[in-house]
């Protein structure tokens, strides 16, 4: 059995472990909520984790669905970008799949995989991590732009109230 077949055979168990690893990146209260609440409207983050991890896994294992990866990552990373995660914590859950694959391979016994395929799987994980980091930074930039815009608007309102500036149509100046 080659690694690809092994990873397909162990798919549900590995995905379950990976979901658990993702959920464990959250504080304990949030972890309990994400595990227990099954209502998609009450727990949209849990639903995103549930659905998107599978798409990411399928791409990583066999390279299919590459066009869906940016959308899947965007859904997961956008949520993490507004939460209290450092950049490494926001995307680090993707690296956990490498450890899970290594552990599952060791549990299977004395099996060796062709290095080309292992490298291919791990390279796809790295590719997904880099894309996730780009998405995270784009989200953080948007958040910062919104903050700056809000501060500018607030300062403008304060100055207007203090009658230091006057808003309205721009008047032509004549010389």
What b/e readout covers 88-123, taking b as 16+ CB neighbours within 10 angstroms?
Answer: eebbbbbebbbebbeebbeeeeeeebeeeebebbbe
| Summary mean pLDDT of the chain | 88
Sign of CA dihedral 61, 6, 51, 53: negative
How large is the average pLDDT for residues 107-134? 85
- The closest alpha carbon to 34, from 53, 21, 47, belongs to 47
pLDDT tier, 106 (very low <50, low <70, confident <90, very high otherwise): confident
Residues 13-63: pLDDT tens digits?
Answer: 999 999 999 999 999 999 999 998 988 899 999 999 999 999 999 999 988
How large is the average pLDDT for residues 90-99? 94
Total-model pTM: 0.80
Percent of the chain with pLDDT over 70: 91
pLDDT of residue 65: 82
């Amino acid at each position: 059995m080659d690694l690809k077949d092994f990873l397909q055979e162990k798919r549900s168990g590995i995905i379950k472990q990976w979901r658990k690893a993702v959920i464990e990146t959250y504080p304990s209260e949030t972890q309990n909520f994400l595990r227990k609440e099954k209502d998609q409207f009450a727990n949209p983050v849990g639903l995103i984790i549930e659905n998107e991890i599978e798409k990411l896994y399928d791409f990583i294992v066999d390279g299919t669905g590459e066009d869906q990866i940016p959308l899947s990552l965007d859904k997961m990373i956008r949520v993490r970008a507004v939460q209290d995660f450092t950049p490494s914590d926001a995307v680090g859950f993707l690296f956990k799949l490498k450890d899970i694959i290594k552990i599952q391979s060791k549990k299977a016994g004395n099996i060796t995989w062709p290095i080309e395929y292992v490298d291919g799987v791990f390279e796809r994980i790295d590719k997904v991590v880099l894309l996730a980091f780009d998405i995270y930074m784009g989200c953080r930039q948007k958040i910062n732009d919104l903050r700056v815009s809000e501060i500018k608007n607030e300062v403008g309102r304060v100055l207007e109230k203090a009658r230091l500036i006057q808003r309205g149509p721009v008047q032509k100046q004549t010389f």
